[in-house]
A and B are shown apart, each in its own frame.
Chain A
């Protein structure tokens, strides 16, 4: 270990898709064990603790190892602080054409705290933490893990690197290695180097890092997708915090700081990009500076086009294609679903997926214009007053649905669970309307239950299942929007996950248990229906006070030998007649059978 303070950053990716965990020493996993996932990770943790003693001995070897690990320290964050070795390597690789070959994100990674686009306070927090560690002696300093969370491209790694270089610290970064290929292995074996499994590499890395402050970077994303995946990263962060790690959450970068950085790059590149475009790129990036810079690079590819354009003219160029019609007929061509999408989108910017909750919020809050603009004047006839609604303050519900990639079922369930909170208390009529539409949606969905598991990739655009899904989602959402004509004054509501799901889950669980019991107890008589089990046997058994497994055995005996059952039955009070008769009736069934 060097004399200089050493900071360890660990990064690795999470394979389960929902989250990407740039995780740290204690709890991260390497790419090579991706498929193994979390469980293995825990094991790894233990293993690394066990191995600590062993590894201490081979210090020299480790050193070599460590350097090897460092060599892939080539990241496209915007932070820039390289261990001396790195810099050499970079120069070796990139120097001749450094300018023309590099991506701008690499070229313009921040080199000082001032250049960092991250919020000052956050930088300060991280810096304090690191300085704290440098000041206090190792014995006193207990929590030596810092967790930084944030979405992709907010400068997590950049911050660490810049601060570390300010402190004069060396950054030892664990970047998940790409797996060794067979050919590579053969090659290495011939040249005498031994193959070290990635897991072992990682373990050695962890060994070394236990003495030095560790920063764990967690990239959050995919919240729009099914909630299961994000749980892991949240869980990870939580468990780290419980273990005494301090946490700093990075927010998406502000519009202004991105703009500043982009302008700086423009100056240095001597690109004359009009400020409107910088604004626009910064806005479209969604707080992701890496994407903003990449977009800028792409944008600057075409200097001849960089006339001062404003957004309105932009949308005209976008939609111009559509207005050029061959004749009357094509004017009426129906835009298919996707067309809607592309009409509004601009040439850059990340595709923002609306989160489920965001979209639900839109639907439930039901914000509308307060004046009836002339848009409705084109109608052929006027509606009755109670069917009239002011225009929505959002895109068409179908478009929002498309953006959030939601399945109809969860949307309908969520709406059903939460909509009552958003209706004003007196509006019982509204509740009635909403409920009736939701039930319609539910009914439409019920036919496609079996098809739900199919991935949308398999189902084509014209697939009937797909139409069912779309219709029911539309009906549910539009029903809620339409029905909620007196939204309660907007205040904060927590959106609950549907209770229905818990009930459903419980039901499945019970059913499974029952099936299990059934097979355990009555493997000879498998002719019982589940309903008989649920409505007659179970209650009776409960009344009889059987609870535990041993009772099950009694119960088994009971069915095997009717005499005995009658005996048990006789012990009961006589107000148990009902249960008794049912038992008897089943007894008959058995005999008949």
Chain B
């Protein structure tokens, strides 16, 4: 499939991931999180970047914006004055000590207001020992080197480092924002699509730009056409909506509807583990009475346990639905 797509869609002989191909190179082009992005733009213009922690869920543009910022800020000095380390690099204490220190000591002639930048991507996966070592380095070289840490959960960064950094939060992108970016890509790549297809992609992306682009590319190279069916074929996960309506049916007392919904899902070939995992997430966020939620969670937990033990049968799932209905019946006032 990949070979076929490469011959048709790109002349390079191979296709680079669209995520990379369409990665914004300017801070201004970063989609979403308008507030954070506009501030970063100011930094890109004026320099004197404070130490930053960029925190947010994956695929929201943390790395992209910080890389773009570094490029814009440092221009042609970018190669010498930026050190980027991510989780795939070794970042134990030794690296923090040696590589980062060496970089921080390096003399790079920069115009006033500019600093060398050390980008630590996925900083939450650094050991706390390494973070400790970093803390010291951050202080000593703060007049020549600034740090930008990107991470998913900022609370995994030790407090002394958090204390030294301004926290920039990135939130999930809205559907609109993802759509706008997808449209650019779709047009540039001349992908045939129907609106429902894009909608499905946005749904599977769940606020994650990277996921969205990957899904788009995968669907495109697989089926050459973006429609809902193809998208869900490629990005296979039990449709949360299905499951949500199942839960709603249970709550409304329509047990048979719930069962037929489950049967549908099961017949589509989803594994019970997938179904139950999605079910758990939905129940967790579903708005229902406290007792019901507790009981539902409990029953789901037990069903999950059984399924993990290998009893992944349709019977288990139906049994779960029955139990949920039973809970509802016992709790209901007549």
Contact = CB atoms under 8 A, between A and B. Distances in A.
A203 interface: no
Contacts of B12: none
Contacts of B169: 342, 345-348
A380 interface: yes
Interface in A372-421: 376, 378-385, 387-389, 392, 398, 403, 405
Contacts of B282: 334
B175 A330 contact: yes
A170 interface: no
B199 A347 contact: no
B38 A379 contact: no
A333 B203 CA distance: 7
A464 B307 CA distance: 10
A475 B277 contact: no
Interface string B187-207: 000000000000100110011
A288 B163 contact: yes
Most buried by B among A178, A343, A447: A178
Nearest to B206: A336
Contact of B142 (A15, A17, A74, A478): A74
B133 A464 contact: no
Nearest to A346: B169
Contacts of A467: 276-277, 280, 304
Interface stretch (B47-55, B77-85, B256-264): B47-55
A376 B289 contact: yes
A302 B55 contact: no
Interface stretch (A236-244, A349-357, A512-520, A583-591): A349-357
B281 interface: yes
Contact of A334 (B127, B171, B244): B244
A437 B294 contact: yes
B158 to A, nearest CB: 7
B308 interface: yes
A35 interface: yes
Interface stretch (B1-9, B93-101, B214-222): B93-101
Contact of A96 (B42, B112, B131, B280): B112
B176 interface: yes
Given A17-B129, A17-B158, A336-B206, A321 B173 contact: yes
Given A288-B163, A381-B332, A464 B297 contact: no
Nearest to B167: A348
Given A464-B304, A479-B294, A298 B281 contact: no
A31 B136 contact: yes
Interface stretch (A97-105, A138-146, A261-269, A574-582): A97-105
Contacts of A336: 206, 281
Contacts of A471: 280, 297-298, 300-301, 304
A106 B163 contact: no
Nearest to B47: A100
Nearest to B56: A342
A93 interface: yes
A72 B140 contact: yes
A383 B333 contact: yes
A68 to B, nearest CB: 14
A513 to B, nearest CB: 33
A3 to B, nearest CB: 30
Contacts of A322: 174
Nearest to A12: B136
A34 B129 contact: yes
Contacts of A18: 128
Interface string A18-58: 10100000000001001100000000000000000000000
A179 interface: yes
B314 interface: no
Interface string B291-303: 1111001101110
A321 B32 contact: yes
A100 B42 CA distance: 14
Nearest to A457: B125
B321 interface: no
B141 to A, nearest CB: 9
B23 interface: no
Interface stretch (A159-167, A289-297, A534-542): A289-297
A398 B282 CA distance: 13
Interface string A299-311: 1011001000000
A17 B127 contact: yes
Nearest to A15: B129
B284 interface: yes
Contact of B298 (A17, A294, A343, A437): A437
Contact of B289 (A181, A387, A472): A387
B159 A389 contact: no
A430 interface: no
Contacts of A324: 174-176
A380 B286 CA distance: 13
Interface string A438-470: 001001100100000000010000101001101
B82 to A, nearest CB: 18
- The 9 A-B residue pairs with the shortest CB-CB distance, nearest first, are A321-B174, A17-B128, A471-B301, A298-B166, A221-B159, A97-B112, A152-B163, A351-B155, A153-B163
Given A175-B136, A295-B167, A479-B294, 5 more contacts: A31-B136, A34-B132, A181-B102, A301-B39, A342-B57
13 contacts: A101-B112, A103-B51, A175-B140, A178-B97, A291-B163, A294-B164, A297-B166, A301-B42, A302-B38, A339-B172, A376-B289, A379-B288, A471-B304
